Amino acid sequence: MAKYLIVGGVAAGMSAATRLRRLDESAEVVVFERGDYVSYANCGLPYYIGDTITERERLLVQTPEAFRSLFNVEVRTGNEVTAVLPESNSVRVRELKSSREYEESYDKLLLAPGGSPVKPSILGSDHPAIHTLWTIPDSDRIRAMVDEGNVKTALVVGAGFIGLEMAENLHARGISVVVVEMAKQAMNVIDFEMAAMVHRELRMQKVGLYLEDGVSRFENGPDGRVVAHMTSGRAVTADLVLLSIGVKPNTGFLAGSGLELGPRGHIVVDEYLRTVDDRIFAAGDVIEVTHPLSKEKTAIPLAGPANKQGRIAADNMHGQTPRSYNGTMGTAIAKVFDLTVGMTGASEKFCKAKNIPYDTVIIHPNHFAGYYPGAMKMCLKLVFSPENRRVLGAQATGYEGVDKRIDVIATAIKGNMTVDDLAEIEHAYAPPYSSAKDPVNMAGFAAQNILDGLVRTMTWDRLHEADKSELFLLDVRTPAEFATGSIPGAVNIPLAELRERIADIPKDRKVVLFCKVGLIAYNAARVLEANGITNYCNLSGGYETWQIATAAQESAWEAESFQIREGTEMLTAEVKTDSDIVIEVNACGLQCPGPVMRLKQEMDTIAPGEAVSIKASDPGFFSDAPSWARSTGNIVRDISVEKGIVKAVIEKGGAAPAPAASAGNDKTIIVFSGDLDKTIASFIIANGALAMGRKVTMFFTFWGLNALRKPEKVGGLRKSLVEAAFGWMMPRGSRKLALSKMNMGGLGGIMIRGIMKNKNVPSLEEMITAAVSGGVNIVACQMSMDLMGIRREELIDGIQIGGVASYLEASEHSDNNLFI
Ligand code: FAD
């Protein structure tokens, strides 16, 4: 009778145990689990804390008793394996309750001990309000704190899958959540522009997000709270902190076993999941796997692979039908509030890092027929090989239908399919389920067009970094769409006029064509090609991708909460009810500017004091509606997002058109100058106005931007030669500014700073910090940044990037407008 021992009683371990029993009814199967639970749903823990899963028992998929009675598997919970002794084919075990130690022999051993959350050695991280989430007891502790009702604010450290799931579930319990992430994006496995949609979802849900920042130390706060100090100098006070910064393999007990470990401590196995000892196998989060696309060893901690590896390991331990494990390519999915984020195979950044030749395309199709009610936009990025047309990877975000497309493409990658196969996939279609051309087909078509030379594309980041003077940016959307915003410097020639106005297209510059999502621009590209203009490219993903990816990604929480506060104040002041909502509009399915135009159309028909309730599936409507209402003198009573549908209630303002747009007592300052004295003057005025309770907007343009530059050089920005030279010649930050007069090679600046210090006048840097923290709306002019080659990453935190429209809107509420 064979005797199988298994270390670890959850995903990989229990899959193996039950498979072994099915393969061999007579075998002895013993599972050691150091915790009190086996086969529990760790993926469900965040949802139990969020109360979506209301009954704790539902997390316990199986019990030790059930394993014994149903499968005749002996499960020893509370028993930790402390050593593996290959020379005697046995393991050393400690019974945790009694501390009794014993040895148990095996014929075959499976190591499936998984991983544990990384706990950083940050000063103060032993504070009782700081938690990690991995096990049932972890979730019990966190849920108990939340249930007691004392958690009003939470800080989530790490914007990976578990961190974001927890942000959503804590938020669902009425808690204000801030997420801080060291990288420049959430979910680091996906590409930046896809993560930008996650950032937008967090903004819409009013969750704070700080990027490129980390906790440097914790300290005790008032009333049992914890204060997290960030490397940026920010401090967040929270009732609860969740550390979610990664996972490390549980291999400490293997010391001295002779088993080979990889560079990050994972167990090295062959394709049969066998360690260097052919009686010992390993599976799950604890092992190194081969990535099928790079052929390199990596570690991908996911439940699907762990379960499948458990089954394969059991087959190989039993030996009758040996099976190889062919690698993990990281197919994963997560729900981030209402947004679904899915990925499979190689991302663009993965291809870059591994030197895999690749091309990409981004499309924004509807998840089913656009004319059928409820159609929602998704964003699908396909990564493919220009060498053999193979599909390499995909990422998708959206409110519906993401899972299905990612699974289809994952299957295509597994089957070594090409983009031509994607174009041909015959999918099940009826309007409520898909379109006659499914998004997967559409991605295949778009990739075929690129590979067949029918269109050339440029990605948003290449455009962002390009020398714009060498480009002709051509926006082929309708004038109404163009009026809602475009890429700075773009010229609008709608597709319908392009043939007649072909002479307006310059021949001496590369033409970058774009529309909202790329489809109309593709048609325009064909028109250019037919007219002999071949020096062009189509912006992949269109204006939508460019806009989302180049927007300010972090700290939007402050701006959004301000916006919402503004709305709430109005709501309480007016004590309005829904009874005077006279029109309900469903603008779902309409693309920008459709929802705003529908809103205007309906608002024109109602009387002051009455309201329109409007729903739109365009996520941009979340910011468009308040902007439109503010600039037209109407009032946002309420705005919310649910499952990707923005719902706004807009009340018609006074009888006179746009009354709120007339001058108030706000102050606006255009800071054009980059001189030290003039910059000091602008901040003195701004902080003075702030102290008087005025709302202040400072719009930094051209040389003024230098005051907002970070003092240190920011690497990895891939600038053109001209941009790099510009950046090198201009002062980097407020400390490098020169006086407009009597600068005397910098001596004047030093003198004025000395005088200010002696007279107890705050330094320029202190004034800037006071302005940012006091709520001055500091806007860096996008257009000037583009012209001068300055990137968002080079500017200080706490500011916004905006166009002239942001400034003009602010100036309409201002009684004092300075140009410095
Ligand atoms: P585990 O499931 O971690 O099991 C290992 C077990 O071994 C543990 O119970 C541990 O106590 C025990 N053990 C360790 N050392 C010893 C020892 N020396 N002696 C005895 N017992 C020992 N993955 C997804 O694919 N999708 C998701 O949505 C998802 N969500 C997640 C959410 C959360 C909150 C967490 C924590 C994980 C999530 N995962 C998700 C990851 C997924 O749960 C893991 O990849 C999977 O559980 C790994 O299985 P495993 O068997 O290798 O390890």
pLDDT digits (tens, 9 = 90+) for 604-643: 899 888 899 999 887 778 877 877 787 778 888 888 888 8
The span from the CA of 243 to the CA of 226, in Å, is 13
What is the signed CA dihedral for 62, 68, 72, 76, rounded to 10 degrees? Answer: 90
Model confidence band, residue 703 (pLDDT cutoffs 50, 70, 90):
very high
Q: Can you read off the two tokens belonging to residue 644?
A: 């990707």
What is the pLDDT averaged over residues 529-537? 94
* Closest C-alpha residue for ligand 1 atom 16: 113
Determine how β-strand 115-117 pairs with β-strand 247-249. antiparallel
Which residues are CB-contacts of 417 (< 8 A; sequence separation ≥ 6)? 390, 391
pLDDT at 596: 80
What is the pLDDT averaged over residues 456-474? 93
* Closest C-alpha residue for ligand 1 atom 39: 43
The span from the CA of 227 to the CA of 214, in Å, is 13
What is the pLDDT averaged over residues 121-130? 94
Considering only residues 145 and 625, tell me which one the structure prediction assigns the higher pLDDT.
145
Q: Are 315 and 329 in contact (CB under 8 A)?
A: no
pLDDT at 653: 84
With 0-12 CB in 10 A as exposed, 13-18 as middle and 19+ as buried, what is 140?
middle
Considering only residues 330 and 663, tell me which one the structure prediction assigns the higher pLDDT.
330
Q: For a substitution probing ligand 1, which of 302, 311, 406 has the most ligand atoms within 8 Å of its CB?
A: 302
pLDDT at 589: 75
How many angstroms does the Cα of residue 3 sit away from the middle of ligand 1?
24
Which ligand 1 atom sits nearest the alpha carbon of residue 135?
Answer: 36
Considering only residues 758 and 637, tell me which one the structure prediction assigns the higher pLDDT.
637
Task: Please tell me if the CB atom of residue 179 comes closer than 6 angstroms to any atom of ligand 1.
Answer: no
Reply yes or no on whether the pLDDT at 10 is more than 90: yes
What is the pLDDT averaged over residues 530-549? 94
How many angstroms does the Cα of residue 331 sit away from the middle of ligand 1?
17
The lowest-confidence range among 70-84, 472-486, 599-613, 714-728 is: 714-728
Reply yes or no on whether the pLDDT at 567 is more than 50: no
Closest to 20 measured CA to CA, from 61, 59, 67: 67
- Indicate which residues carry an active-site annotation: 43
What is the pLDDT averaged over residues 749-778? 84
How many angstroms does the Cα of residue 499 sit away from the middle of ligand 1?
60
Reply yes or no on whether the pLDDT at 761 is more than 80: no
pLDDT at 713: 82
The lowest-confidence range among 1-10, 156-165, 577-586, 677-686 is: 577-586
Percent of the chain with pLDDT over 70: 95
What residue type is 766 in one-letter code? E
pLDDT at 316: 98
pLDDT at 588: 85
Output phi, psi for 647, to 5 deg: -120, 120
Which ligand 1 atom sits nearest the alpha carbon of residue 116?
Answer: 3
How many angstroms does the Cα of residue 338 sit away from the middle of ligand 1?
26
How many angstroms does the Cα of residue 115 sit away from the middle of ligand 1?
6
pLDDT at 591: 66
What is the pLDDT averaged over residues 136-145? 97
Neighbouring CB atoms inside 10 A of 97's CB total: 8
Reply yes or no on whether the pLDDT at 660 is more than 70: no
Cα–Cα distance list, 354 to 51, 153, 183, 293, 348 (Å): 41, 41, 20, 9, 10
Which ligand 1 atom sits nearest the alpha carbon of residue 334?
Answer: 28
pLDDT at 577: 53
Reply yes or no on whether the pLDDT at 562 is more than 80: no
The mean pLDDT of the chain is: 90
Reply yes or no on whether the pLDDT at 429 is more than 50: yes
Q: For a substitution probing ligand 1, which of 104, 285, 289, 336 has the most ligand atoms within 8 Å of its CB?
A: 285
Determine how β-strand 645-651 pairs with β-strand 611-616. antiparallel
Task: Please tell me if the CB atom of residue 42 comes closer than 6 angstroms to any atom of ligand 1.
Answer: yes
Helices (H), 24-174: 45-49, 64-71, 136-147, 161-172
The lowest-confidence range among 58-62, 239-243, 739-743 is: 739-743
Task: Please tell me if the CB atom of residue 359 comes closer than 6 angstroms to any atom of ligand 1.
Answer: no
Reply yes or no on whether the pLDDT at 343 is more than 50: yes
pLDDT at 324: 97
Reply yes or no on whether the pLDDT at 560 is more than 50: no
Closest to 521 measured CA to CA, from 531, 506, 536, 534: 536
* Closest C-alpha residue for ligand 1 atom 53: 114
Determine how β-strand 581-586 pairs with β-strand 611-616. parallel
Task: Please tell me if the CB atom of residue 41 comes closer than 6 angstroms to any atom of ligand 1.
Answer: no
* Closest C-alpha residue for ligand 1 atom 18: 81
Closest to 368 measured CA to CA, from 342, 393, 398: 398
Cα–Cα distance list, 583 to 270, 340, 556, 578 (Å): 66, 31, 31, 11
Q: Are 673 and 820 in contact (CB under 8 A)?
A: yes
* Closest C-alpha residue for ligand 1 atom 38: 43
Task: Please tell me if the CB atom of residue 581 comes closer than 6 angstroms to any atom of ligand 1.
Answer: no
How many angstroms does the Cα of residue 52 sit away from the middle of ligand 1?
21
How many angstroms does the Cα of residue 606 sit away from the middle of ligand 1?
58
Task: Please tell me if the CB atom of residue 114 comes closer than 6 angstroms to any atom of ligand 1.
Answer: yes
pLDDT at 574: 37
Which ligand 1 atom sits nearest the alpha carbon of residue 82?
Answer: 18
pLDDT tens column, 438-457? 999 999 999 999 999 999 99
The lowest-confidence range among 36-50, 176-190, 498-512, 640-654 is: 640-654
Cα–Cα distance list, 123 to 154, 217, 227, 609 (Å): 19, 5, 12, 55
Task: Please tell me if the CB atom of residue 301 comes closer than 6 angstroms to any atom of ligand 1.
Answer: yes
Sheet containing 100-105: give its strands across: 79-85, 90-95, 100-105
pLDDT tens column, 709-725? 988 887 777 777 777 88
Reply yes or no on whether the pLDDT at 500 is more than 90: yes
Reply yes or no on whether the pLDDT at 563 is more than 60: no
